[in-house]
């Protein structure tokens, strides 16, 4: 086995450790949970590093050097793969997140990193990308309170507000269309098993071949398992 791909480079690990040391967990506590911020991060910080680094190792094998990655809704959990891409594969990494306070905290802690978080809608990202990361965005209960429960098989037919549901579904489809339109082929999408349907729908509508990886990987914060979708590969 080529050990270069089996683990992260020491430089990546140093940067990951450094940025997690510098994060303002007080500020992040208010963003990620309603109460018990300190306890939350004491429990979650280790899994963020460990599980994020595991995904980073997998991406190291899947992505080519000097490509571009669009990270939609990227936050604390995404730091290891983003750092690996920038440091080890010389890739341009563009993380977008609509939560301004989180973007400020991440950029402050990540001053030494070769990437900057943008508090701007990812739909506005410029140019093309060969990797799209969209994890726990389309099923976010805060942003899509009427659509999200259905994603998890928890909808209530008696109380579902179909007008609001339709509006949220239009927003989700528009975001997917915008981001998928920026993806070069062959390309890679990293997403959760709950969000695969939206990517698959776009591929069917556009006659684009896709292959969903069979393996699922645990995540630290939201808990939705991650998988990879290979887009537009030749047979
Ligand atoms: C539930 S959080 C998931 C955070 C992180 N991916 C994780 O798994 O821990 C959803 C994030 O998606 C972001 N988001 C939603 N729509 C977005 C958009 N159009 N552009 C950029 N970020 C977006 C929100 O601001 C929020 O930070």
222 close to ligand 1 (CB < 6 Angstrom): yes
The Cα–Cα gap between 146 and 142 comes to 9
Ligand 1 atom closest to the Cα of residue 142 is 1
Distance in Å, CA 78 to ligand 1 centroid: 11
Could you report the per-residue pLDDT of 102-144, keeping only the tens digit for each?
Answer: 999 999 999 999 999 999 999 999 999 999 999 999 999 999 9
137 close to ligand 1 (CB < 6 Angstrom): yes
| pLDDT beyond 80 at 95 | yes
Q: Do residues 15 and 113 make contact, with C-beta atoms less than 8 angstroms apart?
A: yes
Ligand 1 atom closest to the Cα of residue 224 is 8
| pLDDT beyond 60 at 1 | no
> Which residue's alpha carbon is nearest to atom 19 within ligand 1?
121
Task: Give the rounded percent of residues in the chain with a pLDDT score beyond 90.
Answer: 88
Number of structural domains (the chain) is 1
Distance in Å, CA 125 to ligand 1 centroid: 14
Q: CATH number of the domain at 169, please.
A: 3.40.50.150
> Which residue's alpha carbon is nearest to atom 26 within ligand 1?
73
38 close to ligand 1 (CB < 6 Angstrom): no
The Cα–Cα gap between 104 and 92 comes to 20
What is residue 19's three-state secondary structure? helix
pTM: 0.96
Whether the upstream peptide bond of residue 181 has omega within 30° of 0, thus cis, is no
96 close to ligand 1 (CB < 6 Angstrom): yes
The H or E element that residue 70 is part of is: strand 68-72
Q: What is the pLDDT of residue 94?
A: 98
Structure tokens at 21: 């040391």
Taken in order 55, 127, 139, 99, the sign of the CA dihedral is positive
Distance in Å, CA 53 to ligand 1 centroid: 20
pLDDT band at 36 (very low <50, low <70, confident <90, very high): low
pLDDT band at 2 (very low <50, low <70, confident <90, very high): low
Distance in Å, CA 210 to ligand 1 centroid: 24
Q: What is the pLDDT of residue 38?
A: 80
Could you report the per-residue pLDDT of 154-180, keeping only the tens digit for each?
Answer: 999 999 999 999 999 999 999 999 999
Taken in order 63, 68, 73, 79, the sign of the CA dihedral is positive
Q: Which domain holds residue 124?
A: 3-231
97 close to ligand 1 (CB < 6 Angstrom): yes
């Amino acid at each position: 086995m080529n050990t270069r791909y089996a683990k992260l480079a020491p430089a990546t690990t140093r940067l990951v450790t450094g940025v997690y040391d510098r994060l303002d967990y007080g500020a992040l506590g208010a963003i990620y949970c309603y109460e018990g911020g300190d306890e939350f991060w004491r429990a979650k910080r280790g899994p963020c590093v460990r599980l994020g680094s595991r995904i980073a190792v997998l991406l190291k094998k899947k992505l080519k050097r000097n490509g571009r990655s669009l990270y939609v809704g990227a936050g604390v959990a995404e730091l290891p793969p983003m750092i690996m891409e920038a440091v080890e594969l010389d890739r341009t990494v563009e993380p977008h997140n609509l939560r301004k306070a989180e973007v400020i905290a991440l950029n402050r802690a990540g001053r030494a990193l070769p990437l900057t978080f943008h508090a701007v809608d990812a739909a506005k990202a410029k140019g093309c990308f060969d990797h799209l990361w969209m994890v726990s965005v389309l099923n976010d209960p805060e942003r899509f309170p009427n659509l999200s429960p259905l994603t998890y098989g928890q909808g209530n037919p008696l109380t579902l507000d179909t007008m609001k549901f339709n509006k949220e579904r239009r927003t989700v489809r528009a975001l997917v269309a915008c981001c998928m339109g920026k993806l070069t082929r062959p390309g890679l999408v990293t997403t959760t098993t709950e969000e695969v349907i939206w990517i698959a729908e776009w591929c069917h509508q556009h006659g684009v071949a896709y292959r969903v990886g069979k393996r699922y990987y645990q995540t630290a914060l939201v808990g939705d398992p991650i998988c990879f979708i290979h887009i537009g590969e030749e047979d």
